[in-house]
Structure 1
Amino acid sequence: MRFHTRKWVKPEDLNANGTLFGGKVLAWIDEEAALYSIIQLESKKVVTKYISEINFMSTAVEGDIVEIGMEVTKFGHTSISLNCEVRNKMNHESIVTVDNIIMVNLDANGNPTPHGKTKIEYVKDRLAKKDKEALENA
């Protein structure tokens, strides 16, 4: 699993117990799943269709740094399936895990549309490929 995003737990992220509010973590997960999917599918129109059971394993407190990891588990025809882990950056203790998040690619009318992707692609590899093609066509 690759951890791309870090969040600093601030006072506004806490619940009445003084620990990280679960709703805040879920918002971070949903945003990260959307960003990850947009980059993988090269499409700005991606929405959350499904989030499976959420397993809260530990918590974080003010001042902690948490990181959010995403991993592709499957490419569907119009969707991408991910799993997620949020962990404490300093001790790598898992805070939350989500086994299945399904994101769906949409067309201009908001309908599911094929994305044509079958494997993970990294932006650096896409850029290198475009640079190589540009040199070959020059």
Structure 2
Amino acid sequence: MAKHIAANISRTIQTRLVLPPDTNHMGTIFGGAVLSYIDEIAAITAMKHSGKAVVTASIDTVNFLSSARVGDILLLEGVVVSTGRTSMEVYVKAECQSVENRTKTLTTTAILTMVAVDENGKPSPVEGVVPETDSEKQLFQSAQERKERRMKINEFAKELC
């Protein structure tokens, strides 16, 4: 029987300060900077789960819901919500916290697929995941639908080439 790991084992939390070089002319964080942070935390989360190096296979969805400004604190959290044979689906959320009033606002959510690789860069098997929270269970239950959608998009993209 395949071994499964509790989702909290891979959970990763990062805190970042939004600095002027991270922002645009309006003083809000660049979407590309947020994407970079999301990719990094997803990779760390997947490496913690698999115990292996990983590569990004896809960024399934990214929802920019609000902005962070210079001086805000950006809180990122990643968790493995489903697994395949060599892949892990990682849910990432980013929240902005104002230093002055300590309020938190959800800024971004994303779902990424990371693939574990061996020392030769070849896909390597990973253990399953056991979702724990209600939201993790919902994401786990809808994982197959997202996988099928990704496969259809990949097939469509191949036809365009």
TM norm structure 1: 0.78
Query: For 2:107, which of 70, 95, 102 is the aligned residue?
Result: 95
- Structure 1 residue aligned with 2:123: 112
Aligned residues: 117
Runs of 5+ in structure 2 lacking a partner? Answer: 1-7, 131-161
**CA–CA distance in structure 1, aligned partners of residues 63 and 129 of structure 2:** 27
Give the Cα–Cα distance (whole angstroms) in 2 for the partners of residues 18 and 88 of structure 1: 14
**Cα distance in 1 between the residues matched to 2:66 and 2:12:** 18
1:44-93 superposed Cα distances (whole Å, 9 cap, x missing partner): x2010010121111001111001001122202110111111100133221
Which residue identity is paired with 2:67? Answer: T
**Preserved CA contact (<8 Å) 1:86 1:95:** yes
> In structure 2, what is the Cα distance between the partners aligned to 1:106 and 1:93?
35
Identical aligned residues as a percent: 34
TM-score normalised over the length of structure 2 = 0.68
Q: Distance in 1 between matches of 2:65 and 2:45?
A: 23
Distance of 2:129 and 2:82 partners within structure 1: 9
Q: What SS does the corresponding residue of 1:103 show, helix, strand or coil?
A: strand
Q: CA RMSD in A?
A: 1.6
4+ residue runs of structure 1 moved beyond 6 angstroms? none
Q: Determine helix, strand or coil for the equivalent of 2:128.
A: coil
CA distance in 2, matches of 1:3, 1:113: 22
Residues 80-126 of structure 1, C-alpha deviations (whole Å, 9 max, x = no match): 1111110013322111111x2100011222111112x1236xxxxxx
TM-superposed CA distance for 1:39, in Å, is 1.1
Q: Which runs of 5+ in 1 are unaligned?
A: 121-138
Contact residue 74 and residue 95 of structure 2 kept, 8 A: yes
Pairing of 1:19-38 with structure 2 (within 5 A): 19-38=28-47
Q: What amino acid sits opposite 1:107 in the alignment?
A: D
Task: Mark the CA change 1:46 to 1:4 in structure 2 (over 3 Å): closer, same or farther.
Answer: same
Alignment of 1:2-21 (within 5 A): 4-21=13-30
2:49 and 2:120 map into 1 onto residues whose CA distance is 21
Bigger helix share: 2
**Structure 2 partner of 1:39:** 48
Q: Is the 8 A contact 1:3 1:67 kept in 2?
A: no
